[in-house]
């Protein structure tokens, strides 16, 4: 049995849209349903039970909160009843099930009763009533306003300041002393002129000060600190459960020796609000982890939460409107797929499923065409990439060249169907093929290549690949010339032809086999060193003293329609010229040797 008090069941009668519903509770209880189904009324009923409020900051009003589904012709008593069964763990002297029942009627009538499993009231010396009344129910509204954040920080203060031997108290006292020293002259003047003792000090209650505090945030994408208030709603929303978990943990430290433990329960409305879907899945995992210490009741519209599998600790409850006077009804026997369908998830994900199925179909077609044999394979974007790589292997790697000759290694591209997208499909096909030989997917490090590499490695197919799929995804390694440019913070894109030497590029430029880089590409390359005072050309002149390099690979691309002619020129040169021209391929060949072995 857990060492904490937990709710085993909740019976709610005549509260708002709920006529009479029983909730069998687990650690993490997720309520999902369409708008106005009444799912939030479970959390608000708990807020009424523990805090005397319904919505955040709104006090209970019987006329407004009594169920509007109560039959007009009924002769029954008009009352709201909430009955909660708690499981007291074995670590307590009085263990087992205790029931706490509260009743509200018109004209501010309230009543409550705590009984044990036998229906008897606890003895006067029993600690159970006091323990139950110390339960902290933290209600988090769907709209996380600035006022809510302020109250959360005030709660943080009250919790931290209540900790035994809190260092906060010492810090406040020290600051008060420093403040009094700096303002001693004021105190002296007051004493002399008004004849009373007066000195500045920090107020004992710092909750108002805490409300004005800010979290300063910093990450890899930012330069300097940014107030949390100025960050997006999603970043702010991710802070809330972490702060609440800290408060719950600190509450356990506020007890004197032998005093009763403080149990915390969360009622969290739509935690996913403002959070992108991928981060919502991370958030849902955080909640599941926290639920091992804090019982929670959550409302949601997000598949990140309602796709959680039902198990002994987590349950998803679908809330729907019943017939006529039934009010909100709770359904426990719906699968995640059913809930997703009712919530309108399928029309959203169907296009992505169709896209994945199309990718799989194309990959299977490649397999059916028998393009893959189970030997070590280097996959490249196009025909000329294949030709350059085979020539570089011949020049710089006897080991890899021998493998090419005895057909235990091959460089592969789809004839007539090159490009990054085709390379992704080839990678998928390899994953599905069942091949166990090594495969290396090589992309140019240009805009298209970077995008395609990211798409491939982040895809579900790649991330969930079988363990025997020995496939690696790499960029062509930069040449020494490009590395020197990077050191100067000139971040140029490069295609395979940019690995050719500067001497070769001068020849290509003479033959009109190249074309100028676009302005946007050049401005992106010099972004880290560009200033308002200088043009791109001026910056390039300052940072690249070698005009041959500047006027070839830095400012030009291979002409997209003349790539065959470029390779044919290189291939026609003498061997010693080829060795010089292709020297920029050495690092890529070394990488391949390391991977292939």
Q: For the residues of 375-418, what is the DSSP string, one character each?
A: SEEEE-SSHHHHHHHHHHHHHH-HHHHHHHHTTSEEEE--TT--
| Token couple for 94 | 């009085």
Instruction: Provide the residue range defining the domain that includes 479.
Output: 356-596
- Decide if pLDDT at 542 tops 70: yes
- Decide which of 501 and 420 is more confident: 501
CA distance 394 to 375: 19
- Residue 327 is assigned to a structural domain of this protein: no
- Residue 29 is assigned to a structural domain of this protein: no
CA distance 460 to 26: 32
- Residue 152 is assigned to a structural domain of this protein: no
Q: What is the mean pLDDT of residues 417-442?
A: 86
Q: How many folded domains does the chain comprise?
A: 1
Q: How far is CA 145 from the centre of its chain?
A: 21
| Token couple for 132 | 């139950």
Look at residue 248 and give its three-state secondary structure: helix
Out of 7-21, 272-286, 364-378, 414-428, which region has the weakest mean confidence (pLDDT)? Answer: 364-378
pLDDT at 1: 43
Residue 276's pLDDT band, with cuts at 50, 70 and 90, is confident
461 neighbors 547 (Cβ within 8 angstroms): no
pLDDT at 211: 47
DSSP 496-565: GGGGS-HHHHHHHHHTT-EEEPPHHHHHHHTTTT--TTS-HHHHHHHH---HHHIIIIITEEE-TT-HHH
pLDDT at 334: 67
The pLDDT tens digits for 246-275 are 888 887 775 555 556 688 999 999 999 888
Q: What angle do CA 127, 131, 137 make, to 5 degrees?
A: 170
Q: How far is CA 293 from the centre of its chain?
A: 22
- Residue 293 is assigned to a structural domain of this protein: no
- Decide if pLDDT at 284 tops 80: yes
- Residue 320 is assigned to a structural domain of this protein: no
- Decide if pLDDT at 231 tops 50: no
The pLDDT tens digits for 114-131 are 999 999 999 888 889 999
Residue 477's nearest CA partner among 594, 566, 577, 557 is 594
Q: What angle do CA 101, 102, 107 make, to 5 degrees?
A: 160
End-to-end CA distance of the chain: 55
- Residue whose token pair is 């009085």: 94
- The DSSP symbol for 219 reads -
pLDDT at 496: 95
| Token couple for 169 | 């108290």
- Residue 126 is assigned to a structural domain of this protein: no
CA distance 134 to 370: 70
272 neighbors 304 (Cβ within 8 angstroms): yes
Q: How far is CA 576 from the centre of its chain?
A: 54
Look at residue 98 and give its three-state secondary structure: strand
Cα–Cα distances in angstroms (integers) from residue 472 to residues 154, 400, 423, 468, 475, in the given order: 51, 17, 13, 12, 10
pLDDT at 274: 82
CA distance 567 to 388: 7
- The DSSP symbol for 86 reads E
99 neighbors 84 (Cβ within 8 angstroms): yes
- Residue 301 is assigned to a structural domain of this protein: no
- Decide if pLDDT at 331 tops 90: no
Residue 327's nearest CA partner among 69, 73, 81, 76 is 69
Please, which residues have CB within 8 angstroms of residue 493's CB and are 6 or more apart in sequence? 445, 446, 447, 450, 521, 525
- Residue whose token pair is 């946007």: 520
- Decide which of 205 and 152 is more confident: 152
CA distance 509 to 499: 15
Out of 163-167, 339-343, 470-474, 558-562, which region has the weakest mean confidence (pLDDT)? Answer: 163-167
Q: Which of 124-128, 357-361, 473-477 has the highest mean pLDDT?
A: 473-477
- Decide if pLDDT at 358 tops 60: yes
| Token couple for 306 | 């309602």
| Token couple for 159 | 């919790």
Look at residue 91 and give its three-state secondary structure: coil
Look at residue 58 and give its three-state secondary structure: coil
- Decide if pLDDT at 397 tops 90: yes
Q: What is the mean pLDDT of residues 340-361?
A: 61
Q: How far is CA 187 from the centre of its chain?
A: 54
Look at residue 466 and give its three-state secondary structure: coil
Look at residue 530 and give its three-state secondary structure: coil
366 neighbors 423 (Cβ within 8 angstroms): no
Residue 245's nearest CA partner among 156, 149, 165 is 156
507 neighbors 569 (Cβ within 8 angstroms): yes
Look at residue 593 and give its three-state secondary structure: helix
| Token couple for 539 | 């910056």
Model pTM above 0.95: no
CA distance 100 to 510: 90
- Residue 122 is assigned to a structural domain of this protein: no
Q: How far is CA 234 from the centre of its chain?
A: 9
Question: For the packed helices 383-396 and 563-572, what is the interaxial angle rounded to 10 degrees?
Answer: 20
């Amino acid at each position: 049995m857990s060492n904490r008090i937990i709710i085993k069941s909740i019976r709610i009668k005549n509260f708002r849209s709920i006529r009479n519903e029983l909730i069998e509770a687990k650690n993490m209880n997720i309520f999902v349903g369409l708008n106005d189904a009444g799912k939030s009324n479970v959390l608000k009923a708990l807020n009424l039970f523990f805090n005397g409020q319904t919505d955040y900051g709104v006090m209970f009003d019987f006329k407004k909160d009594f169920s509007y589904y109560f039959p007009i012709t009924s002769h029954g008593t008009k009352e709201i009843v909430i009955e909660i069964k708690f499981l007291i763990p074995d670590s307590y002297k009085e263990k087992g099930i205790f029931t706490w029942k509260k009743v509200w009627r018109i004209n501010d009538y309230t009543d409550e009763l705590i009984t044990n499993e036998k229906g008897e009231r606890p003895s006067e010396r029993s600690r159970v009533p006091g323990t139950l009344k110390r339960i902290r129910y933290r209600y988090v509204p769907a709209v996380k306003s600035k006022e809510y954040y302020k109250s959360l920080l005030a709660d943080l203060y009250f919790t931290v300041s209540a900790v035994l031997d809190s260092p906060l108290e010492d810090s406040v006292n020290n600051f008060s002393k420093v403040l009094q020293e700096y303002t001693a002259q004021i105190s002296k003047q007051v004493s002399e002129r008004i004849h009373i003792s007066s000195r500045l000090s920090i107020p004992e209650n710092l909750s108002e000060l805490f409300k004005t505090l800010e979290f300063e945030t910093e990450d890899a994408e930012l330069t300097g600190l940014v107030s949390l208030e100025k960050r997006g709603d999603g970043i702010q929303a991710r802070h809330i459960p972490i702060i609440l978990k800290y408060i719950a943990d600190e509450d356990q430290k506020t007890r004197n020796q032998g005093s009763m433990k403080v149990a915390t329960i969360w009622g969290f409305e739509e935690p996913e609000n403002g959070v992108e879907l991928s981060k919502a899945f991370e958030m849902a995992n955080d909640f599941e982890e926290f639920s091992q210490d804090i019982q929670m009741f959550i409302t949601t519209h997000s598949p990140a939460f309602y796709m959680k599998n039902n198990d002994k600790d987590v349950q998803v409850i679908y809330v729907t409107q019943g017939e006529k006077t039934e009010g909100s009804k709770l359904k426990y026997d719906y699968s995640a797929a059913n809930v997703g369908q009712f919530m309108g998830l399928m029309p959203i994900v169907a296009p992505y499923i169709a896209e994945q199925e199309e990718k799989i179909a194309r990959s299977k077609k490649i397999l059916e065409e028998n393009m893959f044999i189970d030997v070590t394979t280097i996959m490249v974007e196009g025909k000329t990439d294949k030709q350059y790589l085979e020539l570089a292997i011949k020049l710089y790697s006897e080991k890899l060249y021998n493998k090419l000759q005895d057909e235990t290694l091959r460089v592969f591209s789809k004839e007539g169907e090159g490009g990054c997208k085709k390379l992704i499909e080839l990678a998928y096909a390899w994953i599905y093929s069942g091949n166990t030989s090594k495969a290396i997917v090589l992309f140019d490090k240009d805009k298209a290549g970077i995008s395609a590499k990211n798409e491939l490695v982040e895809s579900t197919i790649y991330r969930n690949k079988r363990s025997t799929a020995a496939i690696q995804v790499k960029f062509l390694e930069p040449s020494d010339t490009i590395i020197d440019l990077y050191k100067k913070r000139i971040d140029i894109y490069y295609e395979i032809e940019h690995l050719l030497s500067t001497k070769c590029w001068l020849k290509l430029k003479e033959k009109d086999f190249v074309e100028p880089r676009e302005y946007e590409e050049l401005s992106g390359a010099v972004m880290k060193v560009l200033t308002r005072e200088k043009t791109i050309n001026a910056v390039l002149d300052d940072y690249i003293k070698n005009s041959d390099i500047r006027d070839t690979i830095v400012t030009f691309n291979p002409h997209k329609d003349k790539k065959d002619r470029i390779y044919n020129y290189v291939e026609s040169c003498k061997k010693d010229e080829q060795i010089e021209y292709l020297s920029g391929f050495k690092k890529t060949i070394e990488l391949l040797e390391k991977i292939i072995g």
